[in-house]
Structure 1
Amino acid sequence: MAASCENARYRIYNALSEPLEFRVQDIVNVLDQCSNKELQSIYPILLESLFGTNDTYGWNLRNIYSNQHPRDFDLLFRFLHPNGPILKLCYKLINDAYLKYDFPLSYLPNKIRKMIDKGMAPAFYFDKLKIDNQTGKPYSLALSILSTLIMCTYFNPFELYMFNFAYFMVNPYHQRSISGVGDIGPSSCQLILYLAEEYFAHFLPCDGSSVPIYDADTTINAIRPSLPLQTAIRPVKSPTLLRQNVVMKTSGPSSPLHSSPAAPQQNNLQEIWRSETIVSVFTDFWLDCGDMEPPTYGLTNIPADFLPSGEHVRVVRNMIKHFHYFSNSASGDMSAMDELKRLVIPSNQGKIYSFLRHTIHNWPLDSSFRLILETWLSFIQPWRYTDYLNKSTNRAHPMDNEEQERVVDRNRWMPFVAENLLSYTIIFQQLLPRFARLDLSTPKNAQMLFRVTKAQQELFSI
């Protein structure tokens, strides 16, 4: 067995050394021909090469654009698609109940690391910590699959992939390759942003559909329109964001929470754990504001060292917009997915507020400020994002459709405004001195001021 794993690693290293146009197909061939044990040994090698976690640039995914490298873009998009070979590999590896991967604590967001150091690990991370036997302190996350009668929370290869994807966006080593925070390139054509949107659309559906149950026995090669809706072969963990009474209702009154893996009532939990992982991991990584003190409600004590890249701000804006679409698509039933829709904004609005406030404070005084300004406007105007099926498909001009007139339903949106009052008042107060220092004779600067005043006009109706 050791010899076969060594041979599999040799083959994957050979495939990784090929030019991209041959590399992907060679990797897919290796994945289809390997046993599960061999796949387990090459999976972390593949992720490290892909995302360059350990101070390398990986496959340089952030510099792949559809208008500049159309063939590479299409090849990688299919490879990393939710129904593509990599995610199918993740689902295939879930079969092994004892598979375990480590994810270093040093890669986690600063806030999460500090909470772990203080013994206050969030529920999502609490039972995934690997303890050093000598010091008694945690030093990594055990990204593992555990199967017990009491159904311990576990991490699996799917979470490992999403952790690496989320970290890739904010990896400090990769930030060196970004020319500046205000670099406004052809972002609508960027592979990494397309992939993030695809993951949101697939795992946080806004059109009334469900997340397809993964097929762990599928071959890795072909990319199909969707994974077959068959029952998964393993039970899943209980969500940590949802109220347990909701979970129990979705599980059915006559059966335990984690009954036979083939039971139909498992579908709701099979549906929700990947969605919850997407929300928890992406918000923790992408809304982290670095080393900052507990937030205050004034405008002082804001750290000066936190400044995300323009690319980072774009993916946060896309995430906020999708959260609004997702939340606004709630139907009022008692399913676990609908409960997640109701919780996704309230559970993350504090993180969004802190991210916006600190980024606005530290952003350069130039026209690139529109990136973070539009992110703020997206958050405080959820009524923009109610019709997911008819949303704009023009990615080349993502801000062009933001200025149309809207009728705002006061009764529907007043609770959101009340819960997020600081995002409307404190951040607006931050903006006033900035606009006072801008040259408003410049069209781009004047346009930003116009966008703010137009948003305020909509708020008057509330």
Structure 2
Amino acid sequence: MNRVFDIVSGNNKKYKMAEDILSKFYTCLNLRWEDKLCELTKIIDHSSPTKELQALFPQLINNIFASSFSNGWNLKTITCDANKGNRQLFEGLIGFLEPQGPMFRLCYKLMSDQQLKYDLPLNVLPLDLQMSLERGRCPQFYTDMLIMDSQTMNFVALSLNPFDYYIFNFALHLVNNNQQQSTWENWNSVYFALACDYLMHFLPSDPNIP
């Protein structure tokens, strides 16, 4: 009887913890920037790679890269211009999204489950690439990522690990955005600062330099 009670009690605790993670996540998305980034960092660093953490990951990605001004994080328009009072926000976003920041810690934490994949629909890719993949004429890089619809026998999505899913969405945030050119060609924006950081960190010119 005690054994049954322990199992039920343990399950209730796990359910409560999962509920708390999701509740905290949804709550912090509505906080002001400083508090949002702080609370998201706490959730990432203090949570184990549970199904709830896996489930909130694509929601966080969507929140970051949403194209609408009210929901996205405006990475291409926020600059380090001190005259606009953006310096603190600029540094906060860089700190959260930089290669060794909380966002990538979340990616690596989730990658402890090697079977975990997220689907990226082909219709969000640039048209030329989308058509090549749909026709099966694709670079070797994409071969193991393609998902085929069993009914139509057409390729419909890419199956990506958490790291690749983030990087793809980061790249697509630039090429798929409908904003006018002048609004995203800010070379002192968060987006381009991160792009430079990612290139230097993940694709160093000298592979012998850590």
User: For this structure pair, what is the TM-score category when the shorter chain's length is used for normalisation?
Assistant: 0.7 to 0.9
> What SS does the corresponding residue of 1:62 show, helix, strand or coil?
coil
Q: How does 1:394-413 map to 2 (within 5 A)?
A: none
Deviation sequence 1:131-172 (CA, Å, 0-9, x none): 2122111211111xxxxxxxxxxxx21111100100001223
Query: Where is the helix percentage greater, Structure 1 or Structure 2?
Result: 2
Question: 1 CA distance for matches of 2:184 and 2:141?
Answer: 36
Measure, in 1, the Cα distance between the counterparts of 2:69 and 2:119.
17
Partner SS state of residue 153, structure 2: coil
User: What does the per-residue CA deviation read over 1:405-445, in whole Å, with 9 as the maximum and x for residues that have no partner?
Assistant: xxxxxxxxxxxxxxxxxxxxxxxxxxxxxxxxxxxxxxxxx
Residues in 2 aligned to 1:167 and 1:130: alpha-carbon distance in whole angstroms: 19
| 122, 138, 141: which one aligns with 1:105 | 122
Residues 219-270 of structure 1 deviation map (CA, whole Å, 9 limit, x = unaligned): xxxxxxxxxxxxxxxxxxxxxxxxxxxxxxxxxxxxxxxxxxxxxxxxxxxx
Following the alignment from structure 1 to structure 2, what is the Cα–Cα distance between the partners of residues 94 and 138? 25
Instruction: Tell whether 2:80 aligns with 1:75.
Output: no
State the SS of the aligned residue for 1:102. Answer: strand
Give TM-score scaled by structure 1 length. 0.39
Residue 76 of structure 2 aligns to a residue whose secondary structure is helix
Aligned-pair CA distance for 1:185: 8.8
Instruction: Give the CA deviation at 1:121.
Output: 2.4
Q: Distance in 1 between matches of 2:69 and 2:123?
A: 13
Compute the displacement of 1:209 (Å): 3.6
Structure 2 residue runs without a partner (length 5+):
1-13
CA distance in 2, matches of 1:15, 1:135: 41
- Taking structure 2 as the reference length, the TM-score comes to 0.83
Name the CA distance, whole Å, in 2 between partners of 1:199 and 1:74.
Answer: 16
Offset at residue 81 of structure 1 (A)? 0.6
**Change in CA separation of 1:114 and 1:3 when aligned onto 2, cut-off 3 Å:** farther
Question: Distance between the aligned counterparts of 2:44 and 2:19, measured in 1?
Answer: 14
Aligned partners of 1:56, 1:117: CA distance in 2, in Å? 33
Indicate which of 162, 171, 175 corresponds to 1:166: 171
Asked if the contact 2:79/2:188 (under 8 Å) is kept, the reply is: yes
1:129/1:141 contact within 8 Å kept: yes
Task: Describe the shift of the 1:108–1:54 C-alpha distance in structure 2 as closer, same or farther (beyond 3 A).
Answer: farther
Structure 1 consecutive aligned stretches of length 4 or more whose deviation exceeds 4 Å: 1-4, 53-57
Q: How does 1:108-257 map to 2 (within 5 A)?
A: 108-143=125-160, 156-172=161-177, 175-176=178-179, 178=180, 181=181, 183=182, 187-207=186-206, 209-211=208-210
CA contact (8 A) 1:28 1:85 kept: yes
Contact in 1 for aligned 2:146/2:157 (Cα 8 Å):
yes
Q: Given the superposition, is the C-alpha separation of residues 203 and 133 from structure 1 closer, same or farther in structure 2, using an over 3 Å criterion?
A: same
Q: Note if contact 2:77-2:184 (Cα within 8 Å) is conserved in structure 1.
A: no
1:120–1:56 distance in 2 versus 1, CA, 3 Å:
farther
Aligned to 1:32: 45
Residue equivalent to 1:51: 65
Residue 95 of structure 1 aligns with which residue?
112
State whether residues 104 and 140 of structure 1, in contact with CA within 8 Å, keep that contact through their aligned partners in structure 2: yes
Over the residues paired in the alignment, what is the CA RMSD in angstroms? Answer: 2.4
Preserved CA contact (<8 Å) 2:76 2:183 = no
Residue 13 in structure 1 maps to residue 23 in structure 2: no
Cα gap change, 1:33/1:135 in structure 2, threshold over 3 Å: closer, same or farther? same
User: Larger RCO: Structure 1 or Structure 2 (Cα < 8 Å, ≥ 6 residues apart)?
Assistant: 2
Q: Is the 8 A contact 1:61 1:191 kept in 2?
A: yes
Give the Å deviation of 1:110: 1.2
**What is the identity, as a one-letter code, of the residue corresponding to 2:37?**
V
Q: Deviation digits for residues 62-113 of structure 1, max 9, x if unmatched?
A: 1111013000001001111111111111111111021121111111121121
Q: What is the aligned-residue identity percentage? A: 35
Q: Determine which structure has more spread, i.e. the larger CA radius of gyration.
A: 1
The 5-angstrom pairing of residues 364-403 of structure 1 reads none
CA distance in structure 2 between the partners assigned to 1:117 and 1:76 by the alignment: 36
Q: Name the residue aligned to 1:355.
A: none
Cα deviations across residues 303-328 of structure 1 (Å, max 9, x unaligned)? Answer: xxxxxxxxxxxxxxxxxxxxxxxxxx
Instruction: Tell me the amino acid that sits aligned with residue 119 of structure 1.
Output: G
CA distance in 2, matches of 1:4, 1:44: 20
Identify the residue that residue 428 of structure 1 maps to in structure 2: none
How many corresponding residue pairs? 193
Taking a change above 3 Å as real, the CA distance of residues 56 and 117 of structure 1, as seen in their structure-2 partners, is farther
Q: Counterpart in 2 of 1:438?
A: none
Seen in structure 2, the aligned counterparts of structure 1 residues 118 and 168 have a Cα distance that, compared at 3 Å, is: same
Question: 1:193 deviation in Å?
Answer: 0.8
Q: Deviations over 1:163-199 (max 9, x none)?
A: 0100001223xx23x3xx4x38983421111110111
Tell me the equivalent position of 2:10: none
1:56–1:44 Cα change, 3 Å: farther
Find the residue that maps to 2:138 and give its secondary structure: coil
What SS does the corresponding residue of 1:36 show, helix, strand or coil?
A: coil
Q: 1:26 is matched by which residue type in structure 2?
A: E
